[in-house]
Chain A
Amino acid sequence: MLQLMRGLAYLAPSLLLFACFVFYPLLKSMSLSVFNTDLLGQETTYAGAKYYKEMFFAPQFLNSLKATLLFTLYTVVPGIFIALGLAYMANWQLKGIGFFRTIFAFPLSIAVAGASMIFMMFFNPSAGVFAYFLQLLHLPSISWLADPKWALVSVSLVAIWRGLGFNILVLLSGLQSIPKHLYESSSIEGASSFRQFIDITLPLLSPTLFFVFIVSVINAMQAFGEINILTLGGPSESTNVIVYSIYRQGFFDLNYSYASAESIFLFLIILILTLLEFWLLERKVFYR
C-alpha cells in the first residue's frame, strides 16, 4: 500500500494533467456527440446516434473523408520516396557529411505558418516562382490555390516539404543501424550498389520504412495549419479535410455535437493507426 502511494505520488502530476486534458475531454467529446447542445456547448437533450447518421449521410462529410485520404496519399507516398533518396545520400561516408545532414533536417525548423506563407508566394498566379517555371517549360499556367483540382496538391506540397526533415532523420538512423559487414561481404562477391540496395538495404530498412509510413499517415490525418493559412478549406470544399471541418463546425458554426461526432471518428482512425505502430515496434524489438 505504501509502495503504491509512493509510486502514485511520482505519477500524480502527469496523471492529473492527462485526466484533465486528455481523458476527460475524450469522454466529453463522446457525450457531446450524442447530445444536442446550445450555443455555449451545454448539453440539452439526448440525441442518440443522430449526429453520426447525419455525418455518414452528409455529402460534406464524405467529401472531407475523400479530401483527407487524398491529402494523405499525396503527402505520404512522395514524402517517403524523396526522403529515402535523401537519407541514402546522407548515409554516404564522406568528409563533411554532417553539414549536409543538418541541411537535410532544415525543414523541421520552419513552422507551418512560415512554410505556408513562403509557398503562398510560390503559388502566386501572376508573379510566383511556380508560374514562372511553368512558363519557361511552355506549360499551361495553373491557378494553384484557386483551382479545386490543384488546391489539395498545392497544400500537399507544403506538407511534403515540411515533413522531409523528420523522415530523413528517421530513415537515416535506420540506415545507420544496418551492419556494415553485410555490405562488405556482398561487395567481395561483386554485387553492384544497386543490387545491394535491393537485396540488403530495403529488406533491413523495411521496419523503419513502415514506422515512417505510419507516423506520416497519422501526421497527414491531423494536418490543419497549411489549410487554414492557404485555402480555408476551399475552393469549393476541395481541401476541407476532417480536422479543418471539426475546427469550422466547432468554432464557427458552433455545431458542437456534429464536430464531436467527427472528432470521435478521427480518434478511432488514429487509434487503429497507433495500435499498428505499437505492434510494429514490439515486433521489431522481438527480432533484435
Chain B
Amino acid sequence: MKKVFSYFFLCMAAFLILSPFLYALTVSFETAAEAAAFPPQFLPTEFYTESYKKAMDTAPIFSFILNSFIVSGLVTLGQVITCSLAAYAFSFLEFPAKKALFIIFLSTMMIPWEATVIPNYFTIRALEWIDTYQGLAVPFFASAFGTFLLRQYFQTLPKEIFEAARMDGCGPLRFFITMVLPLSRPALATLSVYAFLTTYNQYMWPLLITNTDGMRTVQIGLAMLQWDQGISWNTTMAGIVLASLPTVCLLIFGQKQLVRGLTSGSTKG
C-alpha cells in the first residue's frame, strides 16, 4: 500500500515538472484558434501539424540548429583537447610552479563571464570574428571545470602504468595519446556531454556576436518566432519543441555522463 502512494506521488511530481513542456507540446499540435482559446485547451482536438510547417517557413530553424551543432561541436572538441592536455600535465608530470599554475586555473572560475563580456566583445570585433563560428566558439575552448573533471579521473589511473611505459621508452606524449586517452573514455564522454549541452543552451554571447540569420544559433533564432501579431502560440511552441529535441535526446541518452559531470563538483574537491 505504501508503495502505491509512493508511485502516486512520484507520478504527480513528474507530471508537475514536465507540465510546462507537455503543455508546449500540446499547444504545438493545436490550431491557432485552439491555442488562443480561453479557457485554455489542454488537449488538441486533432493532430494539427501545420504549425510545424509554419514555424519552419517563418524561421530557418534547421539552419539555426545546424549552427548550434557546429558551435557546440567545436567547443566540445576544443575543450576535450585543451582540458585533457592540461589535466594530464597536472596529474602525471612533475614540474616547478605546478601548484601556482593550478591556482591560475582555479582562479578563472571566480571570474564571471558577464564581467568580461565587454572587452571580449571588443577582442572579437578587433579580430573581425563577429558573426563567425570561431567568434562564437573559440572563447570557450578552455575550461578550468573541464580540466578538474578530467584530472580527477586521471588520478584514479594507476601510476605504475606510467612508470612501466617510461621503462619501455615511451615518451610522455605517446603515453598520453596511446594509454591515458583511451583509458579515460568515460570521463571524456562526461566532459563532451556537459560541454555540448552548456554551449547549445548559451544565450548572451551568441546574442551579442551574431547579427545575421545565417549565423544565428537556435536559442537566438527562436526570437523570430516570439509570439506577436503574425505568429500564434502554436507556431512558437512548435519552434521550441524542434529546438529542444537535440538536448532532450542528449539528456535521455547521455544522462549517466551528465549526472557525473554535474555532481562531480559537489562530491569531491
Contacts and interface: CB of A to CB of B under 8 A. Distances in A.
Interface of A: 3-4, 6-8, 10-11, 13-15, 17-18, 20-26, 28-29, 32, 41, 86, 89, 92, 94, 97, 100-115, 117-122, 126-129, 131-132, 135, 161, 164, 166, 169-170, 173-174, 177, 208, 211-212, 215, 218, 221-222, 224-225, 228-229, 243, 246-247, 250-251, 256, 259-260, 263-264, 266-267, 270-271, 274-275, 278, 281-282, 284-285
B6 A106 contact: no
B95 A7 contact: yes
Given A266-B112, A266-B114, A17 B263 contact: no
Interface size class of B (residues with CB under 8 A): 35 or more
Contacts of B7: 94
17 contacts: A20-B139, A26-B119, A32-B119, A102-B255, A103-B17, A106-B17, A113-B223, A114-B240, A118-B20, A118-B24, A161-B20, A218-B112, A243-B114, A247-B117, A263-B115, A267-B115, A270-B111
Interface string B216-230: 000110110111000
Interface stretch (B31-39, B43-51, B162-170, B184-192): B31-39
Q: Which of A11, A97, A106 has the most CB of B within 10 A?
A: A11
Nearest to A130: B40
B177 interface: no
B269 A281 contact: yes
Contacts of A113: 203, 219-220, 222-223, 243
A110 to B, nearest CB: 6
Given A129-B40, A285-B269, A7 B117 contact: no
B69 interface: no
A169 B85 contact: no
Contacts of B219: 111-114, 225
B53 to A, nearest CB: 19
Contacts of B138: 17, 21
Q: Which of B13, B114, B247 has the most CB of A within 10 A?
A: B114
Contacts of A26: 111, 115-116, 119
A260 B119 CA distance: 9
Q: Which of B112, B115, B201, B219 has the most CB of A within 10 A?
A: B115
B94 interface: yes
Contacts of A228: 203-204, 207
A239 to B, nearest CB: 16
Contact of B251 (A86, A109, A173, A264): A109
A115 B115 CA distance: 25
B40 to A, nearest CB: 5
A6 B37 CA distance: 67
A148 B262 CA distance: 35
Which secondary structure characterizes the binding site on chain B?
Answer: helix
B266 A21 contact: no
Contacts of A266: 112, 114-115
Given A3-B94, A14-B85, A121-B236, A270 B112 contact: yes
A271 B110 contact: yes
A169 B258 CA distance: 10
B59 to A, nearest CB: 12
A163 B64 CA distance: 25
B180 to A, nearest CB: 11
Contacts of B40: 127-129, 132
Interface in B107-126: 108-123
Given A7-B98, A17-B142, A127-B37, 20 more contacts: A10-B86, A10-B93, A25-B120, A26-B111, A29-B119, A32-B118, A86-B17, A94-B7, A94-B10, A102-B255, A109-B248, A112-B203, A114-B24, A135-B39, A212-B266, A250-B118, A263-B114, A267-B111, A267-B115, A275-B110
A211 B265 contact: yes
A208 B265 CA distance: 10
Nearest to B116: A25
B141 A260 contact: no
A228 B206 CA distance: 13
Contact of B203 (A20, A225, A270): A225
A109 B247 contact: yes
A17 B17 contact: no
Nearest to A247: B204
A173 B267 contact: yes
Contact of B104 (A18, A25, A119, A135): A18
B148 to A, nearest CB: 11
Interface in B134-175: 138-139, 141-142, 144, 147, 172
B197 A3 contact: no
A4 B97 contact: yes
Contacts of A8: 95
A251 B121 CA distance: 10
Contact of B10 (A92, A110, A221, A251): A92
A7 B243 CA distance: 42
